[in-house]
Amino acid sequence: MPTRQLIPHLDIIAAARKHYVRERKAQTPIEAVRALASMQKRPLPVLTGVATSEQPAVTLIAQIRATSSDTTKIEELARELADVGVDALALFTDDGLDPHGLDDLVALTRTVNLPVIGQDVIVDEYQIVESRAAGASALVLRTSAMDKHLLRTLVSTTQRNRMTAIVEANSIDEVIYANSLSPYVIAISQIDAWTGEPVKTPAAELRAHIPVGTRVMLAESLATTEEIQAAINLQVDAVIVEPELLLDSRHAASIHQLIQRTS
């Protein structure tokens, strides 16, 4: 993580993840985790390949935010979301300090036949290899959450482990650097990772700096059909949506219609 001033919550989360990695490395060497990862089946494809005009549909991703170590609830939620036709799940567990995200990831990948995208803060290559061993198909890597050298290393490690590297950026400079790493996907964030405040650069301006052929998604989870429509107007390739909206029968059909899918 960079040495810039962080808001306390993110600072504590990052410190907790670093402590977790140190403990895990001492308990299980990375070579052993790599061996386990190599035995996993190939990751399910999500937002891979080059975007073309012949692929107009928007990938529909449901976000699951796990706030406890009870995996039963997220397994039930994952099944419900699979039933309403989502294309992938995004798992976020950094609301708390208990590092149960790996258990949740394993639970999801064993429960549904859908790609699972890890959204937790990544601070070390070890976490990437662990995520692959747990069955992840893609990982979000935050440009503003680390120095450029580490970001380049983590993007490369993610791709070597056959997962989709989704590089999150919330400024033009970050988008330009993300482009240089040649990821399959760039996620536009409208929230400053360090202040929690909205960024000054409009999403449309960030979108304009992403080259043709690179997939684009919004980093934040959308809670209304109006937000989904606004995202589609930006010509994104994927949206993350709150599960409550997707499971509301009043909105399900209109969401699928918006993203050019049959409900």
Domain range list for the chain = 8-40+58-258
Tokens read off for 246:
């997707």
Residue 145 is classified by DSSP as: G
Please give the average per-residue pLDDT across 183-197, as a whole number. Answer: 85
Please give the average per-residue pLDDT across 44-51, as a whole number. Answer: 78
Mean pLDDT over each residue of the chain, to the nearest integer:
86
Tokens read off for 180:
């240089």
* Residue-level pLDDT at 88: 96
Residue 121: which of 149, 101, 148, 147 has the closest Cα? Answer: 101
Higher per-residue confidence, 147 vs 31? 31
pLDDT at position 3 over 90: no
Contact (Cβ atoms closer than 8 angstroms) between residue 44 and residue 113: yes
Collapsed DSSP state (helix, strand, coil) of residue 165: strand
* Residues linked to residue 211 through DSSP beta bridges, in sequence order: none
* Residues linked to residue 60 through DSSP beta bridges, in sequence order: 239
Collapsed DSSP state (helix, strand, coil) of residue 202: coil
Contact (Cβ atoms closer than 8 angstroms) between residue 235 and residue 259: no
Collapsed DSSP state (helix, strand, coil) of residue 69: coil
Q: With the C-alpha atoms ordered 16, 17, 22, 24, is the resulting torsion angle positive or negative?
A: positive
Contact (Cβ atoms closer than 8 angstroms) between residue 175 and residue 169: yes
Tokens read off for 240:
């993350």
pLDDT at position 225 over 90: yes
What residue has token string 């893609």? 138
Contact (Cβ atoms closer than 8 angstroms) between residue 114 and residue 87: yes
Contact (Cβ atoms closer than 8 angstroms) between residue 37 and residue 132: yes
Pure H helices in 95-202: 101-111, 125-133, 148-160, 172-180
In terms of phi and psi (left: phi > 0; alpha: psi -120 to 50; beta: otherwise), the region of 216 is beta
Higher per-residue confidence, 3 vs 178? 178
In terms of phi and psi (left: phi > 0; alpha: psi -120 to 50; beta: otherwise), the region of 82 is alpha
pLDDT at position 99 over 70: no
Task: Identify the CATH number of the domain defined by range 8-40+58-258.
Answer: 3.20.20.70
Lowest mean pLDDT among 29-43, 188-202, 208-222: 188-202
